[in-house]
Structure 1
Amino acid sequence: MKEQWLTIGQVAAAAAVNVETVRYYQRIGLVDKPPRPPQGFRHYPEETVRRIRFIKRAQQLGFSLQDIAQLLALYRESACDDVRRQAEIRLAAIEAQIRDLQSMRRVLKRLVEQCRADARDDYCPIVESLARDQV
Structure 2
Amino acid sequence: MKGIAPSNQGIKNQIHVMNGIYNADVKPVKIGKYTSISIEILNKNERDFVNTVKRDRGVFQKDDIVILSMGKQSTDQKISFVHQETRSNEVRIYVNVEERHNPPTPKSYTPYLLGKISVPASIPLSFIDQDTGNLLY
Relative to the length of structure 1, the TM-score reads: 0.24
The one of the two structures with greater contact order (alpha-carbon pairs below 8 A, sep at least 6) is 2
Which structure has the bigger radius of gyration? 1
